[in-house]
Amino acid sequence: MYGAVIHAAGDVRYEERPDPEIVEPTDALVRTVATCVCGSDLWRYRGISKVDGATPIGHEFCGVVTAVGAAVTTVKPGDFVVGGFNPSDDTCALCRKGATANCEHGSHYDGAQAEQIRIPLADGTLVATPEYPSGDLIPSLLALSDVMCTGWHAAVSAGVRPGDSVAVVGDGAVGLCAVLAAAHLGATTVIAMSRHEARQRVATTFGATHIVTERDEAGIARVRELTDGIGADRVLECVGTEGARLQAVGSVRDGGSVGLVGVPHGDLPIDQLFWRNVGIKGGPADCRAYLPHLMELVWNRTIDPGLVFDLELPLSEVGEAYAAMDERRAIKSLLWP
């Protein structure tokens, strides 16, 4: 089979790789129907994270089960499935609490930008659709593999409630999905911080009530103007830089909460958080805990997170998929094997 392999920063190739096989009795094999490039894949592409020799890459997919190990009971060959980027067994004490991202037997995979994938902990990780989806649903189902769950996690971690004012820092695919999540959870003021027209359009479609193009102190001042002068009840930080976190902490009101899904760098200003009663919570998304509900919302066409894909290419053009996102010509690239 063929798939994407990263050889070095800036060098992702489409090449022949061995067909995956069942290794553990809890494995499943999936024929990929659609896959995509993640913002976090760009860390290696941009040389921010180290590339340790030629490595299969990608962790988002939807597809059709082709084989299952002897212990797998919840999915079967022929099922159309989505899996979160962080495999979980869905049975351990943490999974039972809904903390599936921190599953005690949690695993991971890389190499989903490929024709076929081996999925560990298949029972816990994969969720099947009621039937084979119509083609127009596939981008939104694919988005459930990471970005929609991650945006949702930002909103859930911040505790978004009906009537809240919410500001979203970051206009990548995750930030846009966080806008969608906040609006769906009942926020009545949803502020997208973005200076890119195409992304602003998606944010508005997803339910943003206001667009703020300013950054830093001016951005904070604008959010306060829109929120009775006090700042937003919840701020969803979907970037991961120190600047973004300062933007988030500055934009939240006293007594409010920041949902954090950008991987943090730098220190937390704990004194400021404490005296302002500002909470902070977040981390890798509990995909498996969210998948059934979010899949139902996609299936019923209540939400359409697939709109984050503004570039579709054949998998063989994976190099261009990375380049387009790296150069911000695309929000997110979908790949058809």
- Interface ranges with a copy of itself (CB under 8 A): 93-94, 97-99, 101-102, 104, 157, 159, 228-230, 233, 253-257, 260, 263-264, 266-268, 270-271, 273-284, 286
User: What is the distance, to the nearest Å, from the Cα of residue 324 to the centroid of all Cα atoms in its chain?
Assistant: 18
- Per-residue CA distances from 54 to 11, 116, 134, 324 (Å): 10, 18, 36, 21
- Nearest to residue 251, comparing CAs of 275, 238, 233? 233
CB of 79 to a copy of itself, least distance (A): 28
Would you say 282 or 306 has its CB closer to a copy of itself? Answer: 282
CB of 222 to a copy of itself, least distance (A): 17
CB of 323 to a copy of itself, least distance (A): 30
Would you say 52 or 270 has its CB closer to a copy of itself? Answer: 270
Would you say 52 or 275 has its CB closer to a copy of itself? Answer: 275
Rounded to a whole number of angstroms, the distance between the first and last alpha carbons of the chain is: 10
Would you say 47 or 266 has its CB closer to a copy of itself? Answer: 266
Can you give 199-266 as a three-state secondary structure string? HHHHHHHCCCCEEECCCHHHHHHHHHHCCCCCCEEEEEECCCCHHHHHHHHHHEEEEEEEEECCCCCC
CB of 289 to a copy of itself, least distance (A): 9
Dihedral through CA 68, CA 305, CA 302, CA 257, nearest 10? 110
DSSP 275-301: HTT-EEEE-S--HHHHHHHHHHHHHTT
CB of 275 to a copy of itself, least distance (A): 6
Would you say 99 or 321 has its CB closer to a copy of itself? Answer: 99
Would you say 18 or 93 has its CB closer to a copy of itself? Answer: 93
In three-state secondary structure terms, 154 is helix
Would you say 37 or 278 has its CB closer to a copy of itself? Answer: 278
- Per-residue CA distances from 319 to 123, 189, 256 (Å): 33, 39, 42
CB of 99 to a copy of itself, least distance (A): 3
- Nearest to residue 241, comparing CAs of 264, 208, 272, 214? 264
User: What is the distance, to the nearest Å, from the Cα of residue 165 to the centroid of all Cα atoms in its chain?
Assistant: 22
CB of 297 to a copy of itself, least distance (A): 22
